[in-house]
Structure 1
């Protein structure tokens, strides 16, 4: 019975390293192409939600953007009854224009947005 030649440890490690680098590179490419699921959190300076409402987030720092991401904030919700403008934390007068604000994180908030801390507001 003949055994196929097994690769050396060095060959195995090179292949494993190349495979790991390819996986990491693929993740970076997906993120750069929008496959990272950023959900309109405003990384590019503005976030567009439904109804043509655009909130300018260009003045936010990286830390402020991370705070928004921790709440999984998106500018356009897929939950028709759960919108920022009917949430307990919504502050309509915090920002000029159609965008409002939130008690939980900094920056302008789209009225048709959503985050994972949504709570039905008392006036809604």
Structure 2
């Protein structure tokens, strides 16, 4: 009986770890996932000319004053102008230099 109990504990422990690793790991796909963003916000993003990659090497979201860098283990940032994930190398027509 003790062997079964120990085996069960090890199995449960491993499953919890797998779940935690999945919920705390982020990929670039997360930055492109707009499933939680409203159609209005997607339209706003498009109207501002948001592109996943800046056409100008010296102007991207990382050096924009409106960009909010990612927090914690996340890799997606945000923007003060619209909701949803933002790639660091992205760009929009409202790019503003950091002061």
In the superposition, relative to structure 1, how do residues 101 and 94 fare at CA in structure 2: closer, same or farther (>3 Å)? Answer: farther
Which runs of structure 1 show a deviation greater than 2 angstroms over 4 or more consecutive aligned residues?
93-96
In the superposition, the TM-score normalised over structure 1's length comes to 0.52
In the superposition, the TM-score normalised over structure 2's length comes to 0.64
Larger radius of gyration: 1
- Structure ranking higher on relative contact order (CA contacts 8 Å, 6+ apart): 2
In the superposition, relative to structure 1, how do residues 95 and 103 fare at CA in structure 2: closer, same or farther (>3 Å)? Answer: farther
Gaps in structure 2 of 5+ consecutive residues:
1-26
Task: Give deviations 1:65-101, integer Å, cap 9, x for gaps.
Answer: 0010110101111210000111000101468621100
Looking at secondary structure, tell me which structure has more helix per residue: 2
The total of aligned residue pairs comes to 71
Residue 46 of structure 2 is matched in structure 1 by 69
Task: Give deviations 1:46-65, integer Å, cap 9, x for gaps.
Answer: xxxxxx83312221111110
